[in-house]
Amino acid sequence: MNTHHSPARKLALLAATGAAVALGAAAIAWAAPVQIPDSYQILNLESVGDARFDVTQPPDQYNDDCALGDLGGPVADDVGYSPATDVRSEGNDSDTFDGGLVLAIGRPGGAPVVFEDSDQFANKVGQQITAGPETITGLRVTRTERALATTPTLRSLIKLRNPKRKAQKRRVIWDSDLGADGNEVVLASSTNDLVLTNADRWMIFDEDPGSDPLGTFVLYGKGKGVKKTRVFNGVADADGCISFQTTVKVPKRSTRYLLFFTQVHDSDDGDGAVAAAKKFNRRKPAGVLAGLGKKVKRNVVNWKLTRR
């Protein structure tokens, strides 16, 4: 069926199209790629004083004294994108990480490949930065870090896009080199003890003795069908490292997500750190999900945020 428009109607449509193009161009300019130099302090937790996460690009993100090289093959030193190469708390304590939240992905039984953000560019909008996509073992991998406005929390959203015509199963490794350098201890965990096990959805690590900030890893939530992480290197590792891994199946031509949270508190604020972590005992933690659309929430595999 042919559609005929009057001259006035055509002008209106052209004007609307032009406005849409202009708006799209403005959006692109707002989220334009930025190069991240070494030690570029890009994610500031402004509402909680000076707490911040430092973002850097390769090389020199973390020392590979951690577990990545032991998970099925060697990984070169000082390679990897880190949104938390160091962290400073509100009270100006620093050295939470020597390289935190390094992501690696591998096929079952194969060597892991570290997410590098090889072009060293990322899109920054306010206190959110998106790096990638990178093609890793056949998946298109993007990670988005957001410094939340009401709590000293960094939210990490890992996007796994499978462009192929068959399902892909991958190991996802979440690895951090802790600033405590072997002196770290478990301060608290979701199972109410001082031992980190596969049953813990979250844990808080401390330095003993020392003055490093307290760090909280939040790994997965409640709910039937939630994909849990497994501890690979627990706290009190001789090199000051901790690694978690999980397995994700991404259906053909589909996308799945992983959602992690990392918090930082002053070295003497153990009670505050524990109180802040307890919100993650709820199936849908309040105040940390802003900006996540329904489609994303539905496809997050380590949380049950919607009815699937």
Q: Is the confidence at residue 10, as pLDDT, over 50?
A: no
Tens-place pLDDT, residues 87-108? 777 777 888 887 788 899 999 8
Residue 224: per-residue pLDDT: 86
Confidence of residue 25 (pLDDT cuts 50, 70, 90): very low
Tens-place pLDDT, residues 138-169? 999 999 988 876 778 889 999 999 999 999 99
CA 46 to CA 160: how far, in whole Å? 30
**Model pTM greater than 0.95?**
no
Q: Which amino acid is at 54?
A: D
Pick from 9-23, 175-189, 197-211: least confident: 9-23
Residue 80: per-residue pLDDT: 73
Strand pairing class (33-35; 121-125): antiparallel
CA 244 to CA 232: how far, in whole Å? 5
CA 9 to CA 215: how far, in whole Å? 60
Q: Which of 122, 120, 59, 49 is nearest to 85 (CA)?
A: 59
Q: Is the confidence at residue 178, as pLDDT, over 70?
A: yes
Tens-place pLDDT, residues 184-233? 889 999 999 998 899 999 999 998 887 888 999 999 999 888 999 998 87
Beta carbons within 8 Å of 62's beta carbon, 6+ residues apart: 78, 80, 82, 85, 97, 98, 99, 100, 102, 176, 177
Average pLDDT for residues 270-290, to the nearest whole number? 92
Highest mean pLDDT (candidates 75-84, 179-188, 230-239):
179-188
CA 83 to CA 61: how far, in whole Å? 9
Confidence of residue 276 (pLDDT cuts 50, 70, 90): very high
Please provide the CATH number assigned to the domain covering 35-298.
2.70.98
CA 184 to CA 176: how far, in whole Å? 12
Higher pLDDT, 233 or 45: 233
Beta carbons within 8 Å of 288's beta carbon, 6+ residues apart: 148, 151, 153, 155, 261, 279
Residue 52: per-residue pLDDT: 55
CA 120 to CA 137: how far, in whole Å? 20
Residue 86: per-residue pLDDT: 75
CA 157 to CA 143: how far, in whole Å? 6
In sequence order, what are the beta bridge partners of 176?
A: 242
In sequence order, what are the beta bridge partners of 162?
A: 254
